[in-house]
């Protein structure tokens, strides 16, 4: 009778461990999905702010229409990829990096327009977009942290045995664009 109890206890412990491991993987996967959703929320905010910025700037930037067109095109492209079901993380990342780059170009161009820089609407929108860009970066860091934790769970023993048998897949990290990795040239 004693051996049967020991076997039942070992089986019960094994079942509890399997359940706890599976639930831990699901919790981590849901955290990654939530973090990705947080990025989408910030991107939506950015998409909503850009048309207001374009309208505010239009009256001042008579010679810089090309910059505004590029900004509008970059926003449209990023929104389209963000809503596209089959778009990969790399595709979305590239579109978002292009949009960030175009926004930086716009703010650089505005240096030539002192009236625009003094406009309260422009300053407020510029602050809002800058704040949104910071939140996007924070959301991406949060996402990458959750991806790191989840991917680590998928790779460590013995959790990897359960993860592999249940077809859990690694997530990709958000990465900086090549242009954003290079040093900024400061000229006086």
Question: Model's pTM, two decimal places?
Answer: 0.67
Q: What is the pLDDT of residues 55-97, one digit of tens each?
A: 777 666 665 667 777 778 888 888 887 777 777 777 777 888 7
Q: What is the pLDDT of residues 34-58, one digit of tens each?
A: 998 888 888 888 888 888 777 777 6
**Domain count within the chain:** 1
For the chain, what is the radius of gyration of the CA atoms?
24
Tell me, yes or no, whether 94 lies in a domain.
yes
Element (H, E) at 55: helix 2-58
Element (H, E) at 188: none
The domain that contains 56 carries what CATH number? 1.20.1440.20
The whole domain housing 104 covers 2-181
């Amino acid at each position: 009778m004693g051996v049967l109890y020991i076997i039942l206890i070992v089986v019960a412990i094994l079942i509890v461990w399997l359940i706890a491991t599976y639930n831990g993987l699901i919790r981590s996967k849901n955290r990654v999905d939530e973090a990705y959703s947080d990025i989408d929320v910030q991107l939506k905010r950015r998409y909503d702010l850009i048309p207001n910025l374009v309208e505010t700037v239009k009256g001042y930037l008579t010679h810089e229409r090309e910059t505004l067109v590029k900004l509008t095109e970059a926003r449209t492209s990023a929104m389209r990829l963000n809503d596209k079901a089959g778009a990969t993380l790399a595709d979305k990342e590239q579109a978002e990096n292009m949009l960030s780059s175009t926004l930086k170009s716009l703010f650089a161009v505005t240096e030539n327009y002192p009236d625009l820089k003094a406009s309260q609407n422009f300053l407020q929108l510029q602050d809002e977009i800058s704040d949104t860009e910071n939140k996007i970066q924070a959301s991406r860091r949060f996402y990458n942290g959750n991806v790191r934790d989840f991917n680590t769970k998928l790779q460590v023993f013995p959790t990897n045995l359960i993860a592999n048998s249940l077809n859990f897949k690694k997530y990709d990290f958000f990465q900086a664009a090549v242009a954003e990795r290079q040093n900024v040239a400061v000229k006086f």
